[in-house]
Amino acid sequence: NVVLRIEGFEPDSYAAHQRVPHWDIGTELGIIDGERAVKISGSMFTMYRGWGARLLRAMVQLSLDRNADAYEEVRPPTLVRTETMVATGHLPKFADEAYQVERDDLWAIPTAEVPLTSLHRDEVLDEADLPLRYTSYTSCFRREAGSAGRDTRGLLRVHEFDKVELLAYTTPDQAAAIHAEILARAESLLADLGLAYRVLDLCAGDLGASSA
């Protein structure tokens, strides 16, 4: 459990909220306004207000700053071409989960991984320049079509969310070490914030081609 140190919120009163959903706590604190987000955009959208908006912005900045020593920051376009989505395996498999601007044949990115992976598509890179490390903060868009009928209140399984991505281009021999580096960076941020987390190892047989 995480205690939010917010002005006007006494930590001692947190015990009374331990079994209260985060969307109720967020509404009570005035940091989440789901009702007006739904009014403006429909279900499965959320809105941060006041300290909530500040917290989100601070977390993004902290994430970018923590990785600025080795990762070049990139702000890619939020809309990408069909071939860019195909290059990461998001199309055609996840077409039902994606937002498409049909008039322009563009797609709203579900993750910054999509444009970053195509950053050097159709280019020949010099092995001496590898690894190339990139970090990116973007809004991400997902229909979450598979969550129909589930409880999707609050900040889980929403259509739009913000994320800081870490991605690297490597040789096969470099890949394992860089993957471990990215994991360590993600873990260190969570640990320093005092947040509970777990690392999940997936069975190789459960990994698709793009994950591998």
**pLDDT at residue number 208:** 72
Cβ 64 vs Cβ 137: under 8 Å: yes
**pLDDT at residue number 2:** 45
Helix (H) or strand (E) holding 15: none
Please report where in the chains the tokens 């598509």 appear, as a residue: 121
**pLDDT at residue number 121:** 96
Cβ 166 vs Cβ 67: under 8 Å: yes
| Cα–Cα distance measured from residue 124 to residue 53, given in angstroms and rounded to the nearest whole number | 41
| pLDDT interval class at 3 (50, 70, 90) | very low
Closest-CA residue to 109 (of 165, 39, 155)? 165
Q: Is pLDDT of 163 > 60?
A: yes
Q: Could you read off the pLDDT of 14-68 as tens digits, one per residue?
A: 555 467 888 899 999 999 999 999 999 998 999 999 999 999 999 999 999 999 9
| pLDDT interval class at 5 (50, 70, 90) | low
Instruction: Tell me the C-alpha to C-alpha distance, in Å, between residue 148 and each of 48, 182, 209.
Output: 24, 33, 27
Q: Is pLDDT of 198 > 70?
A: yes
| Helices 51-66 & 172-192 angle (0-180, nearest 10) | 140
The alpha-helical segments, DSSP class H, found in the chain are 22-29, 34-41, 51-66, 82-87, 113-117, 172-192
| Cα–Cα distance measured from residue 2 to residue 59, given in angstroms and rounded to the nearest whole number | 15
Please compute the mean of the pLDDT values over residues 151-175 and round it to a whole number: 91
Cβ 45 vs Cβ 158: under 8 Å: yes
Cis preceding linkage at 92, omega within 30: yes
The residue type found at 56 is: L
| Cα–Cα distance measured from residue 109 to residue 115, given in angstroms and rounded to the nearest whole number | 8
- The structure's pTM equals 0.85
| Cα–Cα distance measured from residue 81 to residue 118, given in angstroms and rounded to the nearest whole number | 10
**Could you tell me the two tokens for 33?**
């306004």
Please compute the mean of the pLDDT values over residues 71-78 and round it to a whole number: 98
Please report where in the chains the tokens 């008039």 appear, as a residue: 103
Q: What is the CA radius of gyration of the chain?
A: 19
> Edge-to-edge, what's the strand order for the sheet holding 132-141?
72-73, 132-141, 160-169
Q: Could you read off the pLDDT of 110-161 as tens digits, one per residue?
A: 999 999 999 999 999 999 999 999 999 999 999 987 665 565 678 888 999 9
**pLDDT at residue number 1:** 39
